Amino acid sequence: MPSVTQFWAPHAWIDPVVESDVLITVSGEGRITAVTPDSGPAPAGATVLTGLTLPGMANAHSHAFHRALRGTVQVGSGTFWTWRDTMYRTADALTPDSYLELATAVYAEMALAGITAVGEFHYLHHAPGGTRYADPNAMGEALIEAASRAGIRITLLDTCYLSAGFGEPPNRHQQRFSDGDAEAWAARASSIEPRAHARIGAAVHSVRAVPAEQLSTVAQWAGERKAPLHVHLSEQTAENEACLAAHRVTPTQLLSQHGVLGPRTSAVHATHLTDADVKLLSSSSTVICMCPTTERDLADGIGPARRLAHGGSPISLGSDSHAVIDPFEEARALELNERLATQQRGHWTAAALLRAATEDGHASLGWPEAGRLERGALADFCAVALDTPRTAGPPARLGAETAVFAANASDVREVIVGGRVVVRDGVHQLVPDVGAALATAIKTVTT
């Protein structure tokens, strides 16, 4: 890469406004060195971006292998729990090699949608039955390599998953997930090395999956490293009921009692909360990761994101089960769900929704230097066409509103990660046929 690269955007969202004729210069180290609005026409040699440039988007909650379930789980009826049985059958089939192939294709799909960093909530650690691979982190390494091949950043949220429920040993499927106890989890997780494109964080799968007395081991591990700590929280009322029966407190209270909440922690879903739970989460500045397309797909319910945000919790967004991978859809669903629930419009501005998809999402994954178009930030951005059948018409100054409320993933034309062009004219530069890559990889793990 030359020492300085120039990108020129006809329009760019520089929080909170849309600027025009924006010149973005990037150092050889992949950082933005200047963002200049009203810079005049594109200089010779600059890479000309399409439409509206946004900071790169962060997919703050992913289970890459769930992508293999798309479509097949839309037949018949059921609940979260029947969906989970199907999901476990796919998990049983994965090996480090097939997961590398699948995750590369899934992360390439994310890149095409404007996503430049993924938080992979990873619990498929061991071989079926719990047998250790020669490298006990072979599966996590496959995910880190997959992100590299797809050209995006990853935070591997290595997940502690020890039990099937309160006081229940892991079931047949879950033996792959378990390290035995939190100390053994910590020892294994400690041996994964970060890379230039990969950072390591921790996760508690849920209060169902980590016994209460072991929660603080995971929290401490993350605290010592100042690493992100994620946890599935109260996605289902059954979790709340089981937790109350076992501990006489809600899952949120249990996490609070064991030092899991705080500004480096992301509570994923946070759907079924009491008023006291909302207060504990928001007053501790715990990030709330909403996954609206998955939550509606799994008939979870609508969480109190608005109240949590007003109380002090940043909001991030994730595509979780990958029923669809489209950060615009996640962002607008946050607002549109609230409209349906309250019969009122305008709970979140387009800028606030974009902030959740970019800056706050990156921060929740331990990339606080990404997700903004400003000097010193990582040169991660994406460009959305404003002349497609979905986005044509509105004036450019309403580009943020147009992108959030009308664009979809296929309107993304360019994606730049660390100054490197990963997507050009809607084509992935490293995985040329992402559809074919997905089809092949999914066939391998489902037949």
Phi first, then psi: give them for residue 376, nearest 5 degrees. Answer: 95, -20
Q: Give the single-character DSSP code of 375.
A: T
Residue 38 C-beta: closest distance to Zn ion, Å: 43
Name the residue nearer to Zn ion (CB basis): 323 or 403. Answer: 323
Residue 62 C-beta: closest distance to Zn ion, Å: 8
Nearest position to Zn ion, beta carbon: 320
Residue 159 C-beta: closest distance to Zn ion, Å: 10
Task: Find how far residue 174's CA is from the centre of its chain.
Answer: 23
CA torsion, points 66, 71, 74, 79, in degrees to nearest 10?
0
User: Which token pair is 315?
Assistant: 């909001």
Residue 342 C-beta: closest distance to Zn ion, Å: 26
Residue 268 C-beta: closest distance to Zn ion, Å: 6
Name the residue nearer to Zn ion (CB basis): 22 or 60. Answer: 60
* Catalytic-residue membership of 269: yes
Of 158, 297, 320, 326, catalytic: 320
* Residue the block writes with tokens 């000309």: 48
Looking at this protein, which amino acid is placed at residue 281? L
Residue 235 C-beta: closest distance to Zn ion, Å: 8
Name the residue nearer to Zn ion (CB basis): 30 or 301. Answer: 301
In terms of Cβ atoms closer than 10 Å to its own Cβ (0-12, 13-18, 19+), residue 100 is buried
Residue 12 C-beta: closest distance to Zn ion, Å: 32
Closest CA relative to residue 286, chosen from 301, 299, 273: 273
The residues that bridge with 35 in the sheet, in sequence order, are: 24
Of 269, 272, 347, 362, catalytic: 269
Instruction: Judge whether 163 and 171 are in contact, CB under 8 Å.
Output: no
Give the footprint of Zn ion on this chain (CB under 5 A).
Answer: 320
- What is the C-alpha separation between 13 and 7, in angstroms, rounded? 14
Residue 155 C-beta: closest distance to Zn ion, Å: 14
Name the residue nearer to Zn ion (CB basis): 320 or 360. Answer: 320
User: Which token pair is 291?
Assistant: 């996954």
Instruction: Judge whether 74 and 130 are in contact, CB under 8 Å.
Output: no
- Three-state secondary-structure class, residue 276: helix
Residues 6+ apart with CB under 8 A from 247: 166, 212, 254
What pairing do the DSSP bridges indicate for beta strands 315-317 and 287-290? parallel
Looking at this protein, which amino acid is placed at residue 296? R
Phi first, then psi: give them for residue 289, nearest 5 degrees. Answer: -95, 110
Cis geometry, peptide bond prior to residue 2 (ω within 30 degrees of 0): no
CB atoms within 10 A of CB 46: 17
What pairing do the DSSP bridges indicate for beta strands 4-14 and 52-55? parallel
* Catalytic-residue membership of 428: no
H or E stretch at 198: strand 198-204
Residues carrying an active site annotation: 269, 320
